[in-house]
Chain A
Amino acid sequence: MIPDTSADMVLGFAVILGVLLVYSLSIFLRARAARQILKDDEDGD
């Protein structure tokens, strides 16, 4: 009989894709914050 490890499979994929998604978002947010600081500096704020 094949063991039912479906919940572990879902958890595994959720963790892999979740970590990659959060990391991608962190790059986007850090870049946006850096661009904003540079823009404010150019505007003379």
Chain B
Amino acid sequence: MPKKPLLLTILDILTLILVPAALGLILIYTPVEVNMGPVQKVFYFHVASAWGGMLSFVVAAVTGALYLLRRELKWDWLSQAAVEVGLVFGLTAILSGMIWAQPIWNTWWVWEPRLTTTAIMELIYLAYFILRGALSTPESKARLGAVFAIISVITVPITFFSIRLYRTIHPVVIAAGSDAAFSMSPRMQTAFFTSLGVFTILLADLVWHRTRLAQLQSELEQKGLAS
């Protein structure tokens, strides 16, 4: 196992500073939305989590394709790391969305297009680990895992565009003019884009750490020490 790179340490420190800073920005700097009240502030991290999850699944597909082309295990480590971190980000997006929905929609869950496609996307990526667990050799895990990650990425645009393609009660945030669910003031926009940036850095940090863990697990497997 190679030593921890300096860049990863810098990324760790940056993440530890930026996440609380983004939270502070949201709590102190952004105005309270008049119709929803303070719970609307969850939206900044909710959207950033969903963005992180979808980006991670795209990374998993790209690195999966790179594994199939080059047959180097490092791409498989990165792909499985991206799927796992994407699942966690997707889970936080779903849970925070439910917490927002309870006071706003008066229900925790509605089977509308965005929520349904997000749930399906999460379940499909959960199956990725069930598939890997059912295979015996590292090569078959990597090969079929890569194919699965590439095919599953179709759920990302379906989920993203679901609120634009179908009638739904889910707010459309990024839209031109009057199509948006609520108009964001300049302060809200600052917090929104800051959260997206911070969660992208957090995503990179977690994926990198998880990739190093996958490398360690691969070493254990090669030595017959994996449980």
Interface segment, one of B62-70, B92-100, B150-158, B169-177: B92-100
Interface of A, secondary structure class, is helix
Please encode chain A, from 1 to 35, with 1 for each CB lying within 8 Å of some chain B CB and 0 for all others.
Answer: 01111101101110111011001100110110011
Q: Do A8 and B42 touch across chains, with their CB atoms under 8 A apart?
A: yes
Complexed CA–CA distance, A35 and B215 (Å): 11
Q: Do A16 and B102 touch across chains, with their CB atoms under 8 A apart?
A: no
Contacts A8-B99, A15-B96, A16-B96 hold; do A27 and B210 have CB atoms under 8 A apart?
Answer: yes
Residues of B contacting A35 in the complex (Cβ-Cβ under 8 angstroms): 1, 216
Interface of B, secondary structure class, is helix
**How distant is A33 from chain B, measured CB to nearest CB, in Å?**
9
In the assembled complex, B209 has its CB within 8 A of some CB on chain A: yes
**How distant is A41 from chain B, measured CB to nearest CB, in Å?**
6
In the assembled complex, B183 has its CB within 8 A of some CB on chain A: no
In the assembled complex, B126 has its CB within 8 A of some CB on chain A: no
Q: Do A34 and B99 touch across chains, with their CB atoms under 8 A apart?
A: no
**How distant is A11 from chain B, measured CB to nearest CB, in Å?**
5
Interface segment, one of B30-38, B133-141, B159-167: B30-38
Q: Do A34 and B213 touch across chains, with their CB atoms under 8 A apart?
A: yes
What are the 7 tightest A-B residue pairs by CB atom distance, in nearest-first order?
A12-B42, A5-B39, A5-B37, A34-B216, A8-B39, A3-B37, A9-B38
12 sample A-B contacts, Cβ–Cβ < 8 Å, listed by A number: A3-B36, A3-B103, A4-B37, A5-B103, A8-B103, A12-B45, A13-B23, A13-B42, A20-B206, A27-B209, A27-B210, A41-B223
